[in-house]
Structure 1
């Protein structure tokens, strides 16, 4: 499913100063991202034989790259709460490609993504290198997904997925789909795993449209990136980590998903009220 709005806004015109900012920031951002990727791949040659999929070092490179990239953009992050420390996963609402940088910048996490992303030019390469878990959203593959989640969690990986199943303009939270939660009700996971909800709320730059940072539907990546990089002053993003929830504290996946959705909605609404 892809969320769509009645209209997709056209990017605002970019003046000469905006093009200059976009060029300088884009060059710096590319240097950091691909330089970090090169370092990560080189270290994996040593890390993999010693630690397998444990990845004790390389996720810190991803975290550092994302922090520096946000600084280059000028996007500030207001944080509340503490990332989960126990075995389990995280869920968040989904607004933009920026979510990947924001969520990676302050914790070591591995995203769960639809399998099509693996073949996307550039983005798919980065996703594979940083350990993204690729799945097909198909009930017939529930057993395979459960085994994959169990394996990654046993290796100390913190998984993160977007239960809305699509990105939006960031002005609301869509109902959570419950399919992926079923994996956590396997006997090997349900009594030990916790899931933490995360609320992401973007505040547009001064004078920009309310959904400035939203990226959804058929919107292209390049124009969205260019418009963000061209801004003289950026907005802000609120990042709220809610208290983790034990999976077995809820009788089924629908109950668990409903509870986590309510947490995300409350954090999103509170941050929106203060925007």
Structure 2
């Protein structure tokens, strides 16, 4: 499997990146922050990547149409493909990701917003969020703050919801919780698709690509909620965490879900 999957995956991802960058050269001067074409390229590449890897994709629920943000549980690098395949979003990631090999290049090219956890940058980051959201971008946050083994949902950090409660955003912003439910291949560890612990990115990529018969991922879109309906960031974080966790409880095989 490795002999053909990895080269084909590289060709799909970086071939798509080349097309994306060429189109962006035309798109940027005419549309600025708005990206009417290139997100469809990203979406197509992510669908193709899952096909190459042989991982099934099932989608439940409806994608948000309102302006706003998406929050999801985080199991690792596969989330990039599984979240982008059924929708057009832009990730919010810690600044260090921009320097990661391969992933950092792709993230920068596809419009990821990089943030520093430094109070001195808070005002600038708020302005960036507002500009992107007003341009119609659906920004995707991982409120757990790190990746898990895919069989649990870590506590959502309320601090990551603070940006939604600014005066400029609260009245028009909606948030949609999204659950990523990874079902491992038969006879493998149910946490097979989770990228956690000490396993390197390339080590995990090779392990997944070498698997002959893959499992699947289910992307569950929960009803979006208006930020203005919540009194504070803690209540919004609790609501989103409960919604995301509910799908894992319902859809993971018995005994797999972990507290």
* Counterpart check, 1:247 vs 2:227: yes
Q: State how far apart, in whole Å, the 2-side matches of 1:170 and 1:140 are.
A: 33
Deviates more, 1:217-226 or 1:159-168: 217-226
Whole-Å separation in 1 of the counterparts to 2:124 and 2:234: 20
Q: Give the alignment partner of residue 78 of structure 2, picking from 89, 94, 98.
A: 98
Matches within 5 A, 1:1-275: 21-273=1-253
CA distance in 2, matches of 1:137, 1:29: 33
Any gaps of 5 or more consecutive residues in structure 1? 1-20
Number of the residue aligned with 1:4: none
The Cα RMSD (Å) is: 1.2
SS in 2 for 1:183: helix
User: Do the aligned partners of 1:197 and 1:260 also contact (CA within 8 Å) in 2?
Assistant: yes
Measured after TM superposition, the shift of residue 140 of structure 1 is 4.2
Instruction: Provide the rounded CA distance (Å) in 1 between the counterparts of 2:64 and 2:159.
Output: 22
- What TM-score, normalized by structure 1, do the two folds share? 0.90
**Equivalent-residue separation in structure 1 for 2:19 and 2:62 (angstroms):** 28
| TM-score, normalised with respect to structure 2 | 0.96
CA distance in 1, matches of 2:171, 2:141: 20
Q: Secondary structure at the match of 2:39?
A: helix
Residue pair 2:59, 2:86 contacting (<8 A) in 1 also: no
Provide the C-alpha distance between the structure 2 equivalents of 1:122 and 1:199, rounded to a whole number of angstroms.
26
SS of match in other structure, 1:239:
strand
Helix, strand or coil at the partner of 1:50: helix
SS of 2:252 mapped into structure 1 = helix
**How far did residue 186 of structure 1 move?**
0.8
- Alpha-carbon displacement from aligned partner over 1:64-107 (angstroms, at most 9, x marks no partner): 00001101111011210011110100000001210110000111
Of 179-188 and 64-73, the range deviating more from structure 2? 179-188
Map of 1:10 onto structure 2: none
> How far apart are residue 273 of structure 1 and its match?
4.1
Deviations 1:13-50 (A, max 9, x none): xxxxxxxx112011111111111000010111110111
Distance in 2 (alpha carbons) for counterparts of 1:233 and 1:28: 17
Q: Against the structure 1 CA distance between its residues 69 and 147, is the aligned structure 2 distance closer, same or farther, given a 3 Å change threshold? A: same
Q: Which shows bigger deviation, 207-216 or 101-110? A: 207-216
